Chains A and B, each alone.
Chain A
Amino acid sequence: MGKVIRFLPLIVFIALGVVLYRGLFLKPQELPSALVGKPIPAFTLTQLKDANKQLTAEDLKGDIVLLNVWATWCPSCRYEHPYLLDIAKSSQVTLYGLNYKDERDLAIKWLEDLGDPYQFSVFDEAGRLGLDMGVYAAPETFVIDHHGIIRKRFAGPIDADVWQREFAPMIKTISQERARGE
């Protein structure tokens, strides 16, 4: 008993060291989304390129959907844009845009200049849908499965590394589920 007590400070020190060392590699910026496992919130907004066309949550359903939150005021969106164009070319996923707190003219011009990777973009000028989806900055990307359930939220720009690390496994999981008829 006495021996155990003598080593107790060392044990406590090592335990604390391990905990704090692990803490160095945590990423507090990567918040879990409160919406994972929930359906897309209901909304009625217009399409970016056509102010007369109404869109609802039903329009965002598909096989495997990527909903990318973007804006012209967001520098990281410009960074990830070429990669989004690549994703759009591969037919793995259906890519929709959510134009977040932006100006319609500027956003349309952005897509004309840089290319339009999206099937369509939802125009969320007031950021209402963004708020309902827990968006706090752009870019953010949501993965939505074939049942219209949000499966993943990623905050930050997408590039090749991020795609392989963050998205590829989730997309594989969902396509396996689909294959099993779940």
Chain B
Amino acid sequence: MKQFLYLITAVILATTFVGCEGASPNTVVVYTALDEIYSKPILDAFTQETGIAVQAVYDTEAAKTTGLVTRLINETNRPRCDVFWNNEVAQTILLKDRGILEAYAPVAAQDIPAPYKDGENFWTGFAARARVLIYNTDQIEDPPTSIHDFLRPEYRGKCAVALPLFGTTATHAAALFSHWGDAKALDFFRALKENEVAFVAGNGVVRDAVARGEYAFGLTDTDDANGAMEDGLPTKWLLPDQDALGTLLIPNTVALVKGSPNPTGGQQLIEYLLSPAVESRLAQSRSIQIPLNPKVEVPENVPSITAIRRMPTTFEEMAAHMESTARQLRELLVK
């Protein structure tokens, strides 16, 4: 019994002291909402290049569960994280508004166009994803081209969207509320519901359900849509509303956390993430993230930022509408 208790104590002590480098100057802690399969190789490359170790915490489905943003809000009295690398922008702006971020103007951000970075340097955008229509090629020959096609009677019960309370679909909904106004946007979502559009658990679920043929088409992000195509599934995708409303682009954002344990290392990581090499790498990956830096060469299968008609909404307006949009949509859809 005694030996057993000694063993247990030894294991606990060992696990307590492993990873002691947590607060050392040669370690950066990053909270990242970008998929681990894409973000980890980049963080490893940073370590190889600079010798600075990176300890990463990855998000679970862009705050489907209470993820990194909730953590950051609750850790304000003693931040554990140096850099927040979000895969979208609205919640980063909400963190800025709550005073959780530190202003920092990265040198590497000079070439990023102004709409994609904060005027007060609290965050910088890079490598965007677009909200796209994914359709099943076995079921659709003449693909829909607009989000308004979800309302067409012939597609009743045949299309899917992620529940617009979480992730990038929530951001997209906030953009529509911001652009159209509350009444028109709410009517649109009400019409979606009446046309029996399925509100599923996430963008990945939309992709899978369309690929399986459960739904003819749906709304998702470029990374999910391209992944399905690369897997050889019977799907294609397109940018919606290129002749009118425009497509929503959602950049990754990177920000320094206020009072972080290692701000110098954090700044180095931010500079690295904003470098053209990282944007190029993300563009060439399976997630085909769209480079925002004009100096980065765009691969053939990735749409160019200059060729996309964007939704005319600023990210700040979107962020300002996030809460009211979520409240209204929750009343409408969750019952």
**A and B co-occur in one complex:** no
